[in-house]
Amino acid sequence: MTTFDRLSALDAAFLDIETERAPMQVGWTMRFAGEAPGIEQLRSHVESRLESVPRLRRRIVEPAMGLGDPHWVDDQLFAIDRHVNVIHMVASDQQPALSAVAEELLSQPLDRSRPLWRLQLVTGLAEGGFAIIGQAHHALIDGLAALEIATIIFDGVATPNDEAAARWLPEEAPSTSEVLTAAALSRIGAGSDVATTLVRSIAGGPAALVEAVTALVALFTPGNRTALENSASPRRRVAFASLPLERMQGAAQRHGVTINDVLLASSGGAVSGALARRGEQPDGIRVLVPTTVRQPGESAASHGNRISVMVVELPLNANDPGSVLRTVGRRTKTLKRAGYAGTLDTAVRAADLLAPPVRSAAVRAAIGAAHFTLVISNVPGPSAPLELAGRELEGIWPAVPLIDGHALSIGAISHAGVLHVGCFADAALVPDLDLIAADIAATFDQLCEMAPPQQAPWQQRARQRRDARRVA
């Protein structure tokens, strides 16, 4: 029997919700120091590492009339030069910035008849160095897997295997009977997994389960729409910010929150300004914060999407970012304690039990009913410097895809002491994206310079007792 590589319900969901004006493609822009490698050198470099991520040579097959599940099959016509290409910039006073080049490339849809990824080498940048701009469909990978795939090209991350690349031959696609058999077996396994997860959730106590379900219901509670909850075009805008991780860690420690809370509060300040420019001043917005549900040792690049989300009510108060930060910290702590992300993951995995046409209809209905303003994602990256063929990586900025009906996303990746923030937007609706990125950095600076709030006497005594116990 040939290999049957089935898309999970979550993988397939990203195909279901894709529209012409909202392609579900994860993107990233990487900037390097030094002279660019030649295109043939880069192609050989990438191809020698594909053995570790088999899906990079596979395309999606969706059986007619829902007879079987969508699955990956080896692309019989796979060629590395269809996926790794080069753009040579011409030196001139009119040369576009790297962000403008990224906008053009990240606006181009991927071809579903081929493996769903590509890399573009960009040379001749006016400020020196070179860039690689990548895309992969969300059906192939989540944010963590995107980072793992993006980094396999770096020196010392994946072991190159030129011999394996040379002898690779595509497998034949599974037969209809094999597809139907695999679909039946997968539902038996999915049912067992869901039952086990439900038992664990109940064993965690009814209070935590009730909190998690209550938070999930909140996602579908109608609220006031903002100007950022709209779609107009598949054209995208890109803007970057880079925040020193040491300062971010210091601010988080002073205020008793996490790094992710600091990113959320900084983003809140920027979104508040963007809405004010559109004549809107809501007290808060609802944001989706992706969280990984991978188990320790589980390879991100080999298992598709393994994410859930937290639904966070993000207050908007540009005049008091410290208060926003502390409120966000309390709310995310409550959601984590309730195990909300795990509860949603169980619900998503239960969709694996549904026939593809029913699942697709349910996914589209759920997305249409969900109410949120934007996605804010933060993926922890490598702390050590990275190199590609001896050229140092200077920065990596993500592009989180926009769900139809939403005009802005914010993504971040940490690398070598810096949190790189990528803002991604519908070009027709968010012409002020550069201001949003600048406001994220400005709000971040405010939070870093802000003293922690004064504690009440009883809080000081409690802290002194905790410190004394630690010393003892």
**Per-residue tens of pLDDT for the chain, all 472 residues:** 466 788 887 788 889 899 999 999 999 999 999 999 999 999 999 998 888 788 899 999 988 766 677 889 999 999 999 999 999 998 776 778 899 999 999 999 999 999 999 999 999 998 889 999 999 998 887 655 666 666 677 877 667 777 777 788 888 877 666 666 666 556 555 444 544 454 444 445 455 445 555 555 666 777 778 999 999 999 999 999 999 999 999 999 999 999 999 999 999 999 999 999 999 999 999 999 988 765 555 554 455 556 677 889 999 987 889 999 999 999 998 887 766 555 555 555 556 666 677 767 777 777 777 889 999 999 888 888 889 888 999 999 999 999 999 999 999 999 999 999 999 999 999 999 999 999 999 999 999 998 877 665 666 666 567 656 644 4
Instruction: Specify the pLDDT at position 163.
Output: 79
Asked whether this chain's domains 5-178 and 179-471 adopt the same fold, the reply is: yes
- Give the closest residue to 316 by CA, choosing from 245, 387, 267, 384: 267
Handedness of CA 307, 310, 311, 312 (dihedral sign): negative
CA distance 297 to 283: 41
pLDDT given at position 411: 97
CA dist., res. 415 & res. 324, Å (int): 26
- In this prediction, residue 471 carries a pLDDT of 45
Angle at 388 between CA 387 and CA 393, to 5 degrees: 50
Q: Name every residue whose Cβ is closer than 8 Å to that of residue 345 and which is 6 or more positions away in sequence.
A: 197, 293, 308
Give the pLDDT confidence score for residue 217 in this predicted structure. Answer: 65
Task: Name residue 180's amino acid.
Answer: L
pLDDT at 172: 82
Per-residue model confidence (pLDDT) at position 457: 64
CATH architecture of residue range(s) 179-471: 2-Layer Sandwich (3.30)
Q: Which CATH code is given to the segment(s) 5-178?
A: 3.30.559.10
Contact indicator for 131, 101 with CB cutoff of 8 Å: yes
Angle subtended at Cα 122 by Cα 410 and Cα 42, rounded to the nearest 5 degrees: 110
pLDDT of residue 198: 46
CA distance 409 to 377: 8
Distance of CA 320 to the CA centre of its chain: 29
Domain-wise residue ranges, the chain: 5-178, 179-471
